[in-house]
Amino acid sequence: MAPAKEKVSTLRLVFLVITWYGGNTFYNIYNKKASKMLHAHWTIACAQLVVGIVWSLSMWGAGLRKKPNLTGADITACIPIGLCACIAHGGSVLAMGVGAVSFAQIVKACEPVFAAAVGLLLPPIDVKPVLAYAMLIPIVGGVGLACVKEGKGIDINVEAFAYASVANLAAAFKGKLGGSVTKSLKGDPSKNMDAANVYGIMNIISFLFTVPIVVFTELPTLSEEWEKACAEHGAQAVLTNIALSGFFFYIYNEFAFAFTANVGAVTSSVLNTAKRVIIIVVSSVLFNEAMERNTVIGSAIAILGTFAYSLTSKGKAVAPKSKTA
């Protein structure tokens, strides 16, 4: 009977990967469409989180998923992670809203650089093997090459680059701060915090941080921007793209969390790297985003560097030998 169980497990993993990849690809498509229609990107990010909240509440209310059983201390521990998730999500939406989806994905390939830096600066210190740090060189070099245009020199969308970099930094802090907290929550069966519920709670906290950002940055002009979008594209088209982007955003993240819980962070990181290739290719075709020779070569180098970093980062760092009596 063991082989049958292994087969079911393999099929489940394949299903998780397909849903993760498909959801992420469709999210990027509908997010870009929504961002091109409505120039209120924090509002779009906020609305996307609302879709996820409705999904979670429906699952809990219908009894299809156990409700989280968290204490005040548990929720407090999750707040910094939710804040980082808010910034990472908002930064990504803004980066893809003001620039090309493919460019944002290329810059986001630099996330390991930020994660490595945060790991060294924020206790407990996480020292990677020397080979892993060496892999950061082709990541940075590849992104740099992708920004060099033939006959123009360095030519980048500074705003998109900045937003994507902020998203990378926030994601690095989220990973650092969230590791021990989520492990503790998942380790206590009484809290009902499986991978899906962990993401559901983080999604809610992220939304609560996003709302005041919308109020302070976009609310004064939101009515005007909404009227412009509706006049040009129609309210139904705008709402449909926002709703679909929110649905696929939640779906791909939930299944990515579930996949990571089953196989571990290393395998998940490797497949996350491969996912960027698909998104870059699809977005380039659908949105007619130019991919010059340097862009293609540079993005390939950066993505391969990220792939190598994922494989080498979980090895043991060289530690000083302890003396024996």
Return d(Cα 113, Cα 93) in angstroms, integer.
21
Any residues with CB less than 8 A from the CB of 321 and at least 6 apart, and which?
none
Q: Which amino acid is at 65?
A: R
pLDDT at 163: 96
In contact, 196 and 258? CB cutoff 8 Å: yes
- For 29-42, give the DSSP string: HHHHHHHHH-S-HH
pLDDT at 49: 97
Give the amino acid at 69. Answer: N
**pLDDT at res. 3:** 43
Element housing 274 (H / E): helix 265-286
Q: Contact at 8 Å (CB) between 260 and 268?
A: yes
Cα 33–36–37 angle (5° rounding)?
Answer: 90
Residues facing residue 149 across a β-bridge: 153
Look up the pTM and report it: 0.86
Question: For position 74, what pLDDT does the model report?
Answer: 94
- The residues pairing with 153 across neighbouring beta strands, listed in sequence order, are 149
Instruction: Give the residue ranges of the chain where pLDDT is below 50.
Output: 1-8, 320-325
Separation between Cα atoms, residue 280 and residue 177, nearest integer Å: 29
Closest CA to 195 of 148, 263, 121: 263
